[in-house]
Structure 1
């Protein structure tokens, strides 16, 4: 199957939390014989902050963020068997969502892939005149990055023909155990860009825990936190490139996951860092949300907290031996059930493909 995918960026994770997800899913699909072309705009300085070169398993087309350039890419994509418009491209989203539907043809499919379904659905709920709302029923299929039954029900309520969650997962070739690095040494590390519906929860689960444990070391990675007043025991790293994630995850006693507010509210939305940390064998401490047990077993494969005080309590009682045991159990679980190879099979099933039917025509 020839796949044309319009997304934010495949080659840069700079202000682009979906990069690891795109790479994992599309690399696994390419490995099953599908031919992938990824169209991304030259925007937000992402090309200046590349994490990877153009990969051998996908053709990357970078276009200028102008309407004529986007339309030329769509014209080329008309030859694909599956055209995907992802949410959050960041430029010309409304144009791409509308014009991609013109590529529907006999024997071909056009899908919308929502990498931030809670935010999209809340936006549509708040604005009855949102231009995307009447387009939802016209797509052959809606894939989502997560969200579980609440997201599926919400999309079906908007008239979607089908809605299939394809959750984050692990690419074991990319995220795996690595030697610890002194510059990343900490008792608790957290990696995430500063976003409006994440900041309050980071203050609660991370900064409040740091304030409660002044003798412990905390590490904050991600863009946008530079002007935030931090406790003396918190060190800010700035943007952390994907190639450094394994060392970061393997250098702390524990790694924190903090969901964005909308994702925590919908549940069933494990962030990329959940699988990155588990793949590295790190001990993960996560904010609690509905559906975590689908991915990791609380108390054995992940530690859950309802507040910053509970994060501090979990960290205060955590020994290196227990942290290692939790990390090892999490790694076994995700390798057995939650790799992108598993997700590629789920995508093919949703598309009605027979196993082994991926070879490009």
Structure 2
């Protein structure tokens, strides 16, 4: 198939988790013989922090305005499927434009489902409106469970299907680099993630001054009081993620408030850390057990005491065994190759039902 994807960013991983998700998916689709065109809005923020401007697994196109999309209409209409992602600039206007084209199926890929549902409930239509939801032939969601019911029954999604984040397991793999930190976290600053980061890393660092901690990611305010044993790294590019995770004795996963409230919303960072065989300590949320088995493939912690007991040995765990089990789970259920297969299935289902509907209309 030829698949055209309009996404937030493929070229820049700075301050977003979309890029690594799209890269893994596009690479897996290419490996399965599909032709992928990725269309990314050329915006100053990502232009100033690009990892590349071309790649060998898809045709990356940068466009400056919706007018540029009009010029690509013939190529877009020639695609076997078109996918529009969440948080794309001028997403509502772009969706209307694509709906006016001769495109089928047209799918929406929501990499931010908890945020999207929160925005829709507040009347915030930054990149999607309620009336657009039922007009897509397929709605693929980063969240499963109740989110799919909400999309179907409250917003009228025709086919709401889960397409969780996946991992390029050939890139995200354990490296023999030795352990540098006892606990580390990789993620862009978010106000709603800061309280659990405070409880599950910063406070344990204060209580365990002889241990080493690290927080990597951009946009953290200057007024955060980091303990002396917490190292700050402003940005770790995707090429260096495996080494970073491999240098951690434990990797912390903290979840945005809207994702916790909705449940069934694993983050790409959690999957990437597990793919590198890092022993993950995560805040708990509803549905996490459907992705990793607690105490065997992942460790759960709600308080500073939970974390300090793991780090100091009061709660005895084999970190290497937990990391290895998490890696095996990724290989079986959460690789980008598996996600590419699922995308094929969802698109084939949408195409089949569209063909059936058209055949019935012709009678």
Structure 1 length-normalised TM: 0.89
Show structure 2 runs of 5+ residues with no match: 351-363
Residue 37 (structure 1) aligns with? 37
**Which of 316, 322, 336 pairs up with 1:326?**
322
**1:217 lines up with 2:215 in the alignment:** no
- Label 1:96 to 1:199 Cα distance change in 2 as closer, same or farther (>3 A): farther
Show structure 1 runs of 5+ residues with no match: 355-361
Q: Secondary structure at the match of 1:180?
A: coil
Residue 357 (structure 1) aligns with? none
Cα deviation, residue 129, structure 1? 7.6
Looking at structure 1, the residues matched to 323 and 194 of structure 2 have their Cα atoms a distance apart, in angstroms, of: 26
Residue 188 (structure 1) aligns with? 183
Cα deviation, residue 48, structure 1? 3.5
Looking at structure 1, the residues matched to 294 and 248 of structure 2 have their Cα atoms a distance apart, in angstroms, of: 20
Q: Following superposition, which runs of at least 4 residues in structure 1 exceed 4 angstroms of deviation?
A: 128-131, 318-321
Cα deviation, residue 296, structure 1? 1.4
Deviates further, 118-127 or 10-19 = 10-19
Q: Deviations over 1:124-182 (max 9, x none)?
A: 1112888611111111010012x212110111120110111111222111100113267
Deviates further, 69-78 or 208-217 = 69-78
Looking at structure 2, the residues matched to 34 and 325 of structure 1 have their Cα atoms a distance apart, in angstroms, of: 37
Q: Secondary structure at the match of 1:101?
A: helix
Residue 81 (structure 2) aligns with? 82
Q: Deviations over 1:79-116 (max 9, x none)?
A: 21211110012x222221222211244xx210111010
**Which of 254, 263, 266 pairs up with 1:270?**
266
Cα deviation, residue 75, structure 1? 5.5
**Which of 254, 272, 277 pairs up with 1:281?**
277
Q: Secondary structure at the match of 1:331?
A: helix
**Which of 341, 344, 359 pairs up with 1:345?**
341
**1:100 lines up with 2:72 in the alignment:** no
Residue 296 (structure 2) aligns with? 300
Residue 67 (structure 2) aligns with? 68
Q: Secondary structure at the match of 1:209?
A: helix
Structure 2 length-normalised TM: 0.89
Q: When the two structures are aligned, how many residues end up with a matched partner? A: 347
**Which of 158, 161, 170 pairs up with 1:173?**
170
Q: Secondary structure at the match of 1:299?
A: coil
Looking at structure 2, the residues matched to 18 and 160 of structure 1 have their Cα atoms a distance apart, in angstroms, of: 23
**1:114 lines up with 2:110 in the alignment:** yes
Residue 58 (structure 1) aligns with? 58
1:188–1:253 contact (8 Å) kept in structure 2: yes
Q: Deviations over 1:268-316 (max 9, x none)?
A: 1111122211111111111111122222111011111123332222222
